[in-house]
């Protein structure tokens, strides 16, 4: 079992550009959540996808958008990148079975210059 | 709003037990207490969770106060690999509930 896989592992972008990050959930999982983790802080919830729809959203601007595909994999898109978007982006997968844990990927380190 | 309170940092000696406290005084009756940890340069990792009674697994034990306003994660015999940031999280019964992280406790282990 490969667990949750994210790509790429590292990325450098320029201010104003757009970026797409990818996540493959753990086998058997159908929900995907995305988190942003700034250096020295806890992860912040961005949004959650289930059945190819955004189900919950944290306090992030519309520049952050996502998608979930029929195979449950997901993408996080960030438009008009700002320096403050530099962070570790984490993907977590789970199921709708109650009372079960989430599994996190290793993250994508995004640096905006 | 994480709604849990943890010490910023703790230190312990290798091969000794570690007790990591967490306060969650406004917890609702249906919220579970979850613990995750994040090792350096890795994503968070599930440790344990519980509702009312004490819980044990291969990684740790979770002791939940009778009034559920606090809990303690217990690592029975700390190793250097246990050095990480430990997050105490309130989470609803539904596994679709989002995980709201606080700032966690940074645990250091002395050899």
pLDDT for A7-65, tens place per residue?
A: 999 999 999 999 999 999 999 999 999 999 999 999 999 999 999 999 999 999 999 99
Task: For residue B82, give the 3-state DSSP assignment.
Answer: helix
Cis omega (within 30 of 0) for bond into A15: no
Q: Residues with Cβ < 8 Å from B52, sequence gap 6 or more?
A: B64, B68
C-alpha distances in Å from residue B38, one per residue of A67, A105, B84? 26, 11, 5
Tokens of A31: 């929900």
In the predicted structure, residue B43 carries a pLDDT above the cut 80: yes
Which residue would you say has higher pLDDT here, A100 or A9? A9
- State the smallest CA–CA distance between residue A99 and chain B in angstroms: 5
Tell me if chain B has a CB within 8 Å of the CB of A90. yes
pLDDT band at B69 (very low <50, low <70, confident <90, very high): very high
Using CB atoms, pick whichever of B36, B41, B95 lies closest to residue A100.
B95
The Cα B76–Cα B14 span in angstroms is: 11
Task: Tally C-beta pairs within 8 A across A and B.
Answer: 66
Output the pLDDT for position A46.
97
In the predicted structure, residue B26 carries a pLDDT above the cut 90: no
Per-residue pLDDT, averaged over A76-102, amounts to 93
> Nearest-CA residue of chain A relative to B41?
A106
Chain A environment of B43 (Cβ under 8 Å):
4, 90, 92, 104-107
- State the smallest CA–CA distance between residue B77 and chain A in angstroms: 24
pLDDT band at B28 (very low <50, low <70, confident <90, very high): confident
The Cα A14–Cα A17 span in angstroms is: 6
pLDDT band at B74 (very low <50, low <70, confident <90, very high): very high
C-alpha distances in Å from residue A45, one per residue of B1, B29, B47, B71, B87? 11, 23, 19, 23, 14
Which residue would you say has higher pLDDT here, A73 or A99? A73
Is residue B60 within 8 Å of residue B7, measured between CB atoms?
Answer: no
In the predicted structure, residue B1 carries a pLDDT above the cut 60: no
Give me Rg for the CA atoms of chain A: 13
In the predicted structure, residue B11 carries a pLDDT above the cut 80: yes
Which residue, B64, B61, B43, is CA-closest to B53? B64
Is residue B6 within 8 Å of residue B104, measured between CB atoms?
Answer: yes
Q: Residues with Cβ < 8 Å from A89, sequence gap 6 or more?
A: A6, A21, A34, A35, A36, A37, A76, A107, A108, A109, A110
Which residue, B66, B63, B69, is CA-closest to B24? B69
């Amino acid at each position: 079992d490969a667990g949750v896989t994210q790509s790429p592992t590292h990325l450098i972008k320029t201010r104003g550009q757009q970026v797409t990050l990818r996540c493959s959930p753990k086998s058997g999982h159908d929900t995907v959540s995305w988190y942003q983790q700034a250096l020295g802080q806890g992860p912040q919830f961005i949004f959650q996808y289930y059945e190819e729809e955004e189900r919950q959203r944290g306090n992030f601007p519309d520049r952050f958008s996502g998608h979930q595909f029929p195979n449950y994999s997901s993408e996080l898109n960030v438009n008009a990148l700002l320096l403050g978007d530099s962070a570790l982006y984490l993907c977590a997968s789970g199921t709708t079975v109650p009372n079960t844990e989430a599994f996190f990927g290793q993250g994508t380190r995004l640096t905006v210059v | 709003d994480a709604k849990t309170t943890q010490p910023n940092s703790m230190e312990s000696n290798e091969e000794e037990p570690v007790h990591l406290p967490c306060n969650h005084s406004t917890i609702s009756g249906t919220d579970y207490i979850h613990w995750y940890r994040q090792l350096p340069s890795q994503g968070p990792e599930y440790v344990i969770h519980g509702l009312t009674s004490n819980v044990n697994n291969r990684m740790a034990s979770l002791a939940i106060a009778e009034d559920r306003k606090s809990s303690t994660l217990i690592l029975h015999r700390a190793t250097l690999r246990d050095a990480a940031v430990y997050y105490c999280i309130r989470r609803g019964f539904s596994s679709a509930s989002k995980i709201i992280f606080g700032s966690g406790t940074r645990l250091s282990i002395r050899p």
